[in-house]
Structure 1
Amino acid sequence: MANKKTLIAIVGPTAVGKTAMAISLAQHFKTEIISADSRQFYKEMSIGTAKPNSDELIAVKHHFIDSHGITQDYSAGDFEREALLKLEELFQRHDVVILVGGSGLFVRALCEGLDDLPKAGDEVRERLNTEMAKFGLEVMKERLKSIDPVYFQNADIDNPQRVVRALEVFEATGNPMSFYHKKDVEKRPFDILTIGLNMDRTLLYERINLRVDMMMDAGLLDEVTALLPFRTKPALLTVGYAELFDYLDGKLSLEEAVDKIKQNSRRYAKRQITWFKKYGNTHWFHPSELSEIIKFVHTSIEKAS
């Protein structure tokens, strides 16, 4: 009987070193990578999303990088369907495939499945995105709290995309998002091994601050300026883009905007760590422990087979 296929999910906070680890593991197992970063799908968003660079993309074949345009709406459910099809194809050539990303909802979509949530019309989504850009996250969070306190307590409500999506579901159906979060975990036809990367919080925050400075040096402001016509798109209501839109609107100085990107990135990293510590059976390592991770993966695969 053929060995069962294994998906190795590399998760953890922003700037911890997930991309480098995924590439190292993919090279070791002679396989390919699926990205589960919800912003790296978009061709127009590169600097602010810390996409793998050209050398990294050449080193190992990546999927779901630059796969969509910013005008396309792309949900976690869409990713689940397309990534499962891609995995079916990849597992014909490889026993192991690497999944990498810090977007917890997209990782969960592929590994566990999501409820088939209803969608509102385009006009509802556009209006809610415009209101988010106009009134800000805090106002929209209060609106969500009033209609769905259960979801508000359990979701990543500091993520504008999650808040807009929950409000959209309510407007489309009259039911809160929490009404639909009842489905059992989908059993996948492959094993899933989740590796979490983490490090000392002080060092992680230093890495985040340095990454933001490097993004600014690489031309992040020009990238954001070019995206002004699309600023209400959900992917752009996020860290690194929202703050620079505020600068371009004259609400912040450039120095204040950069400081806010660093602050919000650190907060996002903290939320990611919390999410993945609650998520499934995650095995945690320091990013420097490549040999230990490889040994652990081989042992786990042998036990499962």
Structure 2
Amino acid sequence: MLKQLPILCIIGPTASGKTDASLALAEHLPIEIINVDSAQIYQMMDIGSGKPSKEILAKIPHHLMNILDPAQAYSAGQFCHDAIKAIHEIQSRDRIPVLVGGTMLYFKVLQEGLSELPGSSPSIRAQLDKAMQDNGLESLYQRLQQVDPERALQIKPTDPQRIQRALEIYELTGKTMSQWLLTPRTTLHDYTFVNLGILPMTTPREVLHRRITQRFENMLSAGLVEEVNVLFQRGDLDINLPALRAVGYRQVWQYLAGHLNEQEMKEQAIAATRQLAKRQLTWLRSWPNLTSIDFLDPEILTKIEKHIVI
């Protein structure tokens, strides 16, 4: 029965209050929350990713949170499969799934479908790893610029995972990743989605910036440096892993490694978080069929509830 109902997605930039709004909804509606935050999927990364407290997680069901060790990678495709499974499970209990987060790529892949990319090749990946060790990441990026300039423009020169994946696909198939992404997408479901954007509309964006600053200060007071130090001391992690590229974690890691002083760490983390929020808002400006609500609207819960069909 519930499968025919639209799935509610609460989308917005960091520090806009998405989590608080969803938790308030869960207090009086039969919802279960599906996490759509690429940092919150990781264990041992609680403070810097803004997870709800253990008490709240014990009280309100959350899915796709704390499911991976920080050493592991996780793709948008994996998220899509896992989210559909979680939706099925929640609906089987006659409860309402609500997707909440700010990882726009996860939302996009879930709603628009997946391009059928080829699988990985351990031998080619080993060759690329060796090339990076011998000649540096910059040489791999320059190679990508030559074979697939369109994809290179979409990838940061400091992102080894995506650079290697694009080169791996080219070496494996002779077709660029850009060409593969032009193939028709396949969807894994027949759901429809209602997208609610929680973002600055009537409230000046500077208010969001102040919230970002205060949020990071609160994280530091709550023990963010100590949290990252536990990961730093493990010995099997490095800053190029997807988990540790998350804003805040990357800068604290650099501080612990002696590459930044404390003030530089704070300033760069806050600046990176603001840049993340800007990218998220850019995504949302072109998001199809988005209903926007100001993140400080006093009627925000009432407006969200109107979109939940029971």
Alignment TM-score > 0.5, same fold: yes
Residues 68 and 226 of structure 1: is their aligned pair in 2 closer, same or farther, counting only changes over 3 Å?
same
Which stretch shows the higher mean deviation, 214-223 or 183-192? 183-192
Residues 140 and 3 of structure 1: is their aligned pair in 2 closer, same or farther, counting only changes over 3 Å?
closer
Question: What is residue 280 of structure 1 aligned with on the other side?
Answer: 288
Matched, 1:207 2:211: yes
What pairs with 1:230-241 in structure 2 (closer than 5 Å)?
230-231=237-238, 232-241=240-249
- Following superposition, the deviation at residue 54 of structure 1 comes to 2.3
Residues 2 and 292 of structure 1: is their aligned pair in 2 closer, same or farther, counting only changes over 3 Å?
closer
Retained in 2: the 8 A contact 1:156–1:271? no
What pairs with 1:152-167 in structure 2 (closer than 5 Å)?
152-153=152-153, 155=154, 157=156, 160=159, 162=162, 165-167=165-167
What pairs with 1:67-78 in structure 2 (closer than 5 Å)?
67-78=67-78
Question: What is residue 245 of structure 1 aligned with on the other side?
Answer: 253
- Following superposition, the deviation at residue 214 of structure 1 comes to 1.1
Residues 221 and 146 of structure 1: is their aligned pair in 2 closer, same or farther, counting only changes over 3 Å?
farther
Matched, 1:219 2:229: no
State the TM-score, normalized to the length of structure 1.
Answer: 0.83
Counterparts of 1:135 and 1:203, CA distance in 2: 41
Retained in 1: the 8 A contact 2:140–2:163? yes
Counterparts of 2:158 and 2:20, CA distance in 1: 25
Q: Give the letter aligned to residue 87 of structure 2.
A: L
1:66 aligned counterpart, secondary structure: coil
Q: Give the letter aligned to residue 18 of structure 2.
A: K
CA-atom RMSD in angstroms: 3.2
Residues 185 and 11 of structure 1: is their aligned pair in 2 closer, same or farther, counting only changes over 3 Å?
farther
- Following superposition, the deviation at residue 122 of structure 1 comes to 5.6
Matched, 1:290 2:301: yes
Residues 187 and 233 of structure 1: is their aligned pair in 2 closer, same or farther, counting only changes over 3 Å?
closer
1:32 aligned counterpart, secondary structure: strand
Retained in 1: the 8 A contact 2:132–2:139? no
State the TM-score, normalized to the length of structure 2.
Answer: 0.82
**Unmatched tracts of structure 2, length 5 or more:** none
Counterparts of 2:211 and 2:129, CA distance in 1: 34
Q: Structure 1 residue aligned with 2:263, among 251, 255, 266? A: 255
Residues 281 and 187 of structure 1: is their aligned pair in 2 closer, same or farther, counting only changes over 3 Å?
farther
Which stretch shows the higher mean deviation, 168-177 or 33-42? 168-177
- Following superposition, the deviation at residue 158 of structure 1 comes to 8.6
Q: Identity across aligned pairs (percent)?
A: 33
Retained in 2: the 8 A contact 1:12–1:102? yes
Question: What is residue 53 of structure 1 aligned with on the other side?
Answer: 53
- Following superposition, the deviation at residue 120 of structure 1 comes to 3.5
Retained in 1: the 8 A contact 2:3–2:91? no
**Unmatched tracts of structure 1, length 5 or more:** none
Question: What is residue 190 of structure 2 aligned with on the other side?
Answer: 189
